[in-house]
Amino acid sequence: RTALVWFRRDLRSFDHAALHHALLRSETVFCAFIYDKEILDTLPRADRRVEFIHACIGELAAELQQMGGNLIVRHAVARDEIPRLAAELNADAVFANHDYEPQAIARDDAVARALAAGGRPLFTFKDQVIFEKNDVLSQSGTSFSVFTPYKNAWLKRLQAEPDSTAPWPIDPYAHKLAAGPASSSSLPSLQQLGFESTNLAALAIPTGMRGGTQLFDDFLGRIADYGVARDYPAVKGPSYLSLHLRFGTVSIRHLVRTVAQLSARGQAGEGGAVWLSELIWREFYMMILYHHPHVVHASFKPAYDAIHWETGPDADALFAAWCEGRTGYPLVDAAMAQLNRTGYMHNRLRMVTACFLIKDLGIDWRRGEAYFAQHLNDFDLAANNGGWQWASSSGCDAQPYFRIFNPVTQSEKFDPEGKFIKRYLPQLAALDPRDIHAPWQTPRMVLEEKGVTLGHNYPQPLVMHDEARKRTLERYAVVKKA
Binding site for ligand FAD (CB under 6 A): 230, 238-242, 245-246, 278-279, 281-282, 285, 347, 350-351, 354, 372, 376, 378-380, 383-384, 386-388, 391
Q: Give least dist CB 477 to ligand FAD, A.
A: 24
275 known ligand binder: yes
Q: Kindly report the number of other CB atoms within 10 A of residue 135's CB atom.
A: 16
Selection from 242, 274, 286, 446 nearest residue 381 by Cα:
286
Q: Is 347 a catalytic residue?
A: yes
Q: Which residues contact 228 (CB under 8 A, 6 or more apart)?
A: 237, 271
Q: Are 195 and 42 in contact (CB under 8 A)?
A: no
Q: Give least dist CB 245 to ligand FAD, A.
A: 4
User: How many Å apart are CA 458 and CA 57, to the nearest integer?
Assistant: 42
35 known ligand binder: no
285 known ligand binder: yes
471 known ligand binder: no
379 known ligand binder: yes
Selection from 350, 409, 352, 351 nearest residue 375 by Cα:
350
Q: Give least dist CB 200 to ligand FAD, A.
A: 16
User: How many Å apart are CA 482 and CA 473, to the nearest integer?
Assistant: 14
Q: Are 268 and 447 in contact (CB under 8 A)?
A: no
Q: Is 70 a catalytic residue?
A: no
Active site residue: 132, 199, 270, 281, which one?
281
Beta carbon nearer to ligand FAD, 180 or 395: 395
380 known ligand binder: yes
Active site residue: 347, 406, 412, 440, which one?
347
283 known ligand binder: yes
Beta carbon nearer to ligand FAD, 59 or 380: 380
378 known ligand binder: yes
Q: Which residues contact 481 (CB under 8 A, 6 or more apart)?
A: none
Tell me the Cα Rg of the chain.
24
290 known ligand binder: no
Beta carbon nearer to ligand FAD, 270 or 278: 278
Report the DSSP pairing between strands 93-97 and 2-7. parallel
Active site residue: 38, 132, 270, 309, which one?
309
Amino acid letter, residue 12: R
Q: Report H helices in 136-241.
A: 147-160, 208-220, 226-229
To the nearest 5 percent, what fractions of the chain are helix, strand and coil? 55, 5, 40
Beta carbon nearer to ligand FAD, 21 or 246: 246
Q: Write the DSSP assignment of 337-405 as a string of letters.
A: HHHHHHS---HHHHHHHHHIIIIIS---HHHHHHHHHHH-TT--HHHHHHHHHHHTT-STTPPPTT---
Beta carbon nearer to ligand FAD, 241 or 431: 241
Beta carbon nearer to ligand FAD, 198 or 338: 338
Beta carbon nearer to ligand FAD, 213 or 427: 213
Beta carbon nearer to ligand FAD, 20 or 282: 282
Q: Give least dist CB 453 to ligand FAD, A.
A: 32
Taking CB atoms, the residue at the shortest distance from ligand FAD is 387
Q: Is 278 a catalytic residue?
A: yes
Q: Kindly report the number of other CB atoms within 10 A of residue 109's CB atom.
A: 12
Q: Give least dist CB 391 to ligand FAD, A.
A: 5
Q: Give least dist CB 330 to ligand FAD, A.
A: 19
84 known ligand binder: no
Q: Which residues contact 396 (CB under 8 A, 6 or more apart)?
A: 145, 146, 147, 288, 292, 300, 301, 386, 389
Active site residue: 365, 377, 384, 385, which one?
365
Q: Give least dist CB 410 to ligand FAD, A.
A: 13
Q: Is 309 a catalytic residue?
A: yes
Torsions phi, psi of 76, nearest 5? -165, -175
End-to-end CA distance of the chain, in Å? 59
Q: Give least dist CB 107 to ligand FAD, A.
A: 20
User: How many Å apart are CA 384 and CA 370, to the nearest integer?
Assistant: 9
User: How many Å apart are CA 228 and CA 323, to the nearest integer?
Assistant: 29
Active site residue: 278, 310, 406, 412, which one?
278
Binding site: which residues?
A: 226, 275, 278-285, 378-380
Point out the residues that are catalytic: 278, 281, 309, 347, 365, 388
Binding-site residue positions for FAD: 226, 275, 278-285, 378-380
